[in-house]
Structure 1
Amino acid sequence: MSTDMYGITDQQWLTTQRAVLTDEFAAQTARLTELTADTGDPADVDTHAGLLAVTRANIEQLTGALRRIAEGSYGRCARCDGAIPPERLEILPHARFCVPCQSKHEG
């Protein structure tokens, strides 16, 4: 098991990432609950539908990241199987691709 310059082990880092993802999952699930219960202004139907779609997509991404942690594949690129830098995962914890593969995937 390796440590970084701050003395954090890979397992500690992964535990922290799991906690961040779990907290965000709970927040997004609560938001989805609020949105589905909202009986707001009928004029805001498009905005409401957009918020529902984004929230559901966020939950799907978070679920996938938590699944990859459980499977042991978190932090590995889904395309090239290379390591996704921890800095990228700290910014985008649900990232499935390294930056070069993400560029190819979008392009």
Structure 2
Amino acid sequence: MTTELQDQAEQHRLTMLRQTLTDQFAVQTARLTELTADTGDPAEAHTRAALLAATRQSLDHLAGALRRLAEGSYGRCERCQVAIPAERLEVLPQARFCVPCQQRTGG
């Protein structure tokens, strides 16, 4: 494969990834809006609070991935700076760390 074709393939992959992240961000934003609506049921308050926290964290991770894409640092481990394998990014597009560094951070 020529360099030009490789560049085009990589550009297409990044475009598709950006769209996936943007779509996920929109879904999580809608979920957050839905979760912040007060149902008036005190029994649901604890569950709703946990869902709100998880949704906000998800939005934070997605926003970070979109920011890294815009900055050109997407796909590099934030700790050791090695390239994060494409397979990992396909499964977890908002990944900030390679697997060894992720294991060291305890998450």
Instruction: Give the TM-score of the pair, scaled to structure 2.
Output: 0.90
Paired amino acid for 2:92? L
3-state SS of paired residue (2:25)? helix
Q: Which has the higher helix share?
A: 2
3-state SS of paired residue (2:14)? helix
Partner of 2:106: 106
Instruction: Indicate yes or no: 2:17 matched with 1:12.
Output: no
Stretches of structure 1 lacking an aligned partner (at least 5 in a row):
none
What's the Cα RMSD here?
1.5
Inter-partner Cα distance in structure 2 for 1:79 and 1:61? 16
Partner of 2:41: 41
Q: How does 1:4-83 map to 2 (within 5 A)?
A: 9-83=9-83
Q: Runs of 4 or more off by more than 2 Å in structure 1?
A: none
Number of paired residues?
Answer: 103
CA displacement at 1:38 relative to structure 2 = 3.6
- More moved, 39-48 vs 67-76: 39-48
Inter-partner Cα distance in structure 1 for 2:12 and 2:102? 27
